[in-house]
Amino acid sequence: MPPPRSVVVHGHFYQPPRSDPWFEEMPRECSAAPFHDWNERIERECYRAVVAARVLDGTGRIASVVNTLTSISFDFGSTLLAWLERAAPETYAAVLAADRASCERLDGHGNAIAMPYHHVILPLCARRDKETEVRWGIADFARRYGRPPEGMWLPETAVDDETMDVLAAEGLGFTVLAPHQVVGAEPGEPATYRTTAGRTIAVIVYDGPLSHDVAFGPLIRDADLWRQRLLQQSAGRLTALATDGETYGHHHAFGEMALAALLSGLAESTDVRVENFASFLARHPPERVIGLNAPSSWSCPHGVDRWRADCGCRTHPERHTRQQWRVVLREALEWLVEELHGVFERESAGVLRDPWATRDAYGVARMAGDDAVRVLLSSCITTADRHVGTRMAELLDMEWNALSMFTSCGWFFDDIAGIESTQVLRYAVRAIELAGSRREELEAGLTTRLAEAVSNDPALGTGRDIYERDARPAVPAAVRVAALCGVADHLDVVVQPILPDGHEARVQRDVATVVETRTGREQRLQVAVDAPRPADIHITVQRLDGSASWQLAWSQLPERGRVALADILCGTMMPRLLDDRQREAVCRGRDVQRVVRDAVVEAVGALATDDSAAAALRVLELADLCVLLDRPVPFGAQTRFADLTRTLPPERVAALRPVALRLGFA
C-alpha cells in the first residue's frame, strides 16, 4: 500500500498597518462600520473565527468547535500580531497555542512560519534593509512562539536571488513560492534553490489552480468538492495550497467553516496526511535543484512592477484609472530613505559602536518595550551623556519608521489618496520629524517630488497635498498629549493611565511636561483649559517662550485618553440629563447612544413651550453628550429645531442662537 499523500494548507494572515506612528493608536475608519476599524472588523470575521470554527453535524447543529490553525500551516504578519496582542488577546493566545499543539503532534515542527517584520517587497530593498527586515521577523517570531522559525513566508511571495541568499544566510530552511516563479520544478515535490553566493534553501511550490479555486472559485463554498479535488491530485508526494488567511471568513463569509469541514473530512481519510511544510521536509529532503523567474511575486504578472510602476494591475479593473503615482511614490521614498540612512550614519559615527548592528538589535529591543531599548542603548553608546543617548534613540526610531515606509500596501491599491498610501506617508512624516537639523530640507525635498504624483480623483490633488493635508498632523503629538494632561487636570483625573503608548506626562502649575519614553525626549508646554460646560472644552497649548501656540478642541485629544475622559464625563452627565424613563430604558438594555439621541430630539421639542435658560442648556449638554459618545448631533434634532424656528418670534430665535450653533446651523 503506497504511503499517504501529504496535504498542506497554508494561510498568509496579514493586514496593512494603520496605527499612527506617534501614539500607535488605530484611528476610527468609517468604511469599517459598525466596527471601529478594519482590524477590528476582520478580527471578528476571520481571526477569531479560524481559531474557533464551527463544524456542523448532519442536522445543522454544532458538532464541535475547532482551532483550524492546529492543522494548517500559517504565518501572521508581525504588525498584525502586535495589534492582536493588544486588542484581541484571546485570539492572539489561540494563535500561539495552535503552534504549540502542532509542535507536539509533528515531532517539534510547528505550523507557524515567520515573515519579514514589515510587509515589504524585498527585491526592491537594498541588501542591508533586507537583512534587517528578515532579522527583525525572526526575532519577533522567536519571542512570540518560543522557538526559532524553520521557514519564512515572503510578502507577496516577492523573490529574487539576493532575497533567497539573505534567507539562507539567516538560517531559514525553506520558503513557499507560486508555480510561475520557479523554473524546473516537479509538481508535488520539494526543491532546492542555490543562490549565486553558493547558499541553498528549500522551496515548496504550491498548487496554483487549486489555490486559485479556493481563494476565488467554488471550493471555499463546498468542502466536499474541495476534499475531492485534493484527493484527486496524483503528481508528487505533496499537495500544497496557499491563500490569504483572510479567505476564511473575511473574503468569504463562513469560509472558516468550510476549512474546518475540509480538515474534519481529511482526518477520516487514510490516504492523506495533513501536516506542515517543515514536517514534510524533515521526511522528504529536496533532491531537485530549480531556478527562479526573478524578480517575481504571486500577485503581479509583471514581476514586482505593481510596487514601482504603472503596470496595469489594480484592485478595481473596471475603473479606467492609472497608477503612474506608484513610480513617483517609490522614487520619492527611495530618495528619502537614502538621505535618512545618511543622517543615521553621520550622527551615530563614533557614538554607536556598530551603528547597523545596533539598528538590528534595536528592532528586537523595541518589540520587547521601552526598558529594553534603554538597556540596549546603555550597552551600545560610547558616552554616558544623557542627551547623546536621547539623540541615538531618536535616530534608531527614525530608521524604524524609514523601513516602515515601504510596507507593500502603500502601492498595492489604486490611488495614492487611499488609506494605505497615506499611512506610508505618515511614517515618512515621523521619520523626517526625527531627522534633526535636516528636517525642513528633507520635507521640502520629499514634497517637491510627491507633487508629481497625481491622484485619480482631481479633487484630492497630488501626493504633496495628501502629505500635507492627511499624513502630517495638524498638531504635534507632544502638544496633543499636553492638552490631554490639561483636561485631565481640570477634571481632577489621574492622567498617566490614560496616556497614549510611549508617553509619560504630568502637569504642575499649568505646565505640562511630556516625555517620549522610547526616545527620552522631553518637552514642557503651557496649557490653559476653558470649559464652560463639562464636554464643551477648549484647550490652548503654547511653548514656554511663546514662540508657537495651538488651539485644540475635544476631538483632537489622543483617542485613548479622550475615550477614558468621555466615560467619566458620561457617567456624571447621564444621571443628571436623562429623566427617569430614559434611565430605565438604559437599565433595560436599550442602546445608550439611541437613548441619548432621542433625548436630544425631545429636548429640542420642549423649547417650543419652555423658554427657560435651563431648557436651552439641557439641549446644549445633551448635544455635548452625543460628542462624548462619538455620535453626531441627531438629524431629527436638527430637523425639529428648523421647524421650531419657523414658528417662534424673532426675539426668541435670537435668544436660541447658542443652541442653533451647537446643532450645526449657520
Supply 451's cell numbers.
507633487
Q: Is the pLDDT of residue 1 over 70?
A: no
Partners of 114 in beta bridges = 152
DSSP 160: -
What pLDDT, in 10s, does the model give residues 574-609?
999 999 998 888 888 888 889 999 999 999 999 999
**Residue 370's pLDDT band (boundaries 50, 70, 90)?**
confident
Chain CA centroid to CA 663, Å: 35
Cis before 473? omega within 30:
no
What pLDDT, in 10s, does the model give residues 428-467?
999 999 999 999 999 999 999 999 999 999 999 999 999 9
Predicted local distance difference test score (pLDDT) of residue 3: 80
Please, is 618 exposed, middle or buried when counting C-beta atoms within 10 Å of its C-beta (0-12, 13-18, 19+)? buried
**Residue 263's pLDDT band (boundaries 50, 70, 90)?**
very high
Supply 6's cell numbers.
501529504
| Mean pLDDT of the residues in the chain | 94
Predicted local distance difference test score (pLDDT) of residue 320: 65
Helix (H, G, I), strand (E, B) or coil at 308: coil
Supply 361's cell numbers.
538589535
Q: Is the pLDDT of residue 384 over 80?
A: no
Q: What percentage of residues in the chain have a pLDDT greater than 90?
A: 87
DSSP 407: B
Predicted local distance difference test score (pLDDT) of residue 530: 94
Chain CA centroid to CA 627, Å: 26
Residue 274, CA distances (Å) to 258, 269, 584 in order: 16, 10, 55
Parallel/antiparallel/unpaired status of strands 5-13 and 238-244: parallel
Residue 198, CA distances (Å) to 125, 128, 168, 175, 275 in order: 21, 19, 10, 17, 30
Q: Which long-range contacts (CB under 8 A, 24 or more apart) does 622-626 make?
A: 622/577, 622/596, 623/662, 623/663, 624/533, 624/534, 624/535, 624/536, 624/573, 624/662, 625/535, 625/570, 625/573, 625/574, 625/577, 625/596, 625/600, 626/593, 626/596, 626/597, 626/600
What pLDDT, in 10s, does the model give residues 560-570?
999 999 999 99
Give the count of alpha carbons within 13 A of 393, CB side only: 26
Q: Are 221 and 230 within 8 A, CB to CB?
A: no
> Nearest-CA neighbor of 495 among 568, 591, 553, 579?
568
Of 3 and 503, the structure prediction assigns the larger pLDDT to: 503
Supply 367's cell numbers.
518589540
Predicted local distance difference test score (pLDDT) of residue 409: 96
Predicted local distance difference test score (pLDDT) of residue 666: 86
Supply 437's cell numbers.
537639523
**Residue 535's pLDDT band (boundaries 50, 70, 90)?**
confident
Q: Are 203 and 174 within 8 A, CB to CB?
A: yes
Cα distance from N-terminal residue to C-terminal residue, the chain: 83
Of 517 and 586, the structure prediction assigns the larger pLDDT to: 517
Which phi and psi angles does 182 have, rounded to 5°?
-125, 160
Predicted local distance difference test score (pLDDT) of residue 185: 93
H-run or E-run covering 557: none
How many angstroms separate the CA atoms of 191 and 119, rounded? 25
What pLDDT, in 10s, does the model give residues 215-240?
998 999 999 999 999 988 777 899 99
DSSP 459: G
> Nearest-CA neighbor of 53 among 43, 62, 61, 40?
62
Predicted local distance difference test score (pLDDT) of residue 319: 77
DSSP H helix total and E strand total for the chain: 26, 16
Predicted local distance difference test score (pLDDT) of residue 589: 83
Query: Going by C-beta distance under 8 Å and a sequence separation of 6 or more, which residues neighbour residue 183?
Result: 290, 291, 292, 293
Residue 238, CA distances (Å) to 6, 150, 297, 379 in order: 5, 18, 22, 48
Q: Which long-range contacts (CB under 8 A, 24 or more apart) does 294-297 make?
A: 294/123, 294/159, 294/160, 294/161, 294/181, 295/123, 295/124, 295/158, 295/159, 295/160, 296/157, 296/158, 296/159, 296/160, 296/178, 296/180, 296/181, 297/121, 297/156, 297/157, 297/158, 297/159, 297/181
Supply 582's cell numbers.
430614559
What pLDDT, in 10s, does the model give residues 543-556?
999 999 999 999 99
Predicted local distance difference test score (pLDDT) of residue 665: 92
Of 481 and 535, the structure prediction assigns the larger pLDDT to: 481
Q: Is the pLDDT of residue 303 over 90?
A: yes
Q: Are 206 and 230 within 8 A, CB to CB?
A: no
What pLDDT, in 10s, does the model give residues 177-224?
999 999 999 989 999 999 999 999 999 999 999 999 999 989 999 999
Rounded mean pLDDT, 246-269? 94
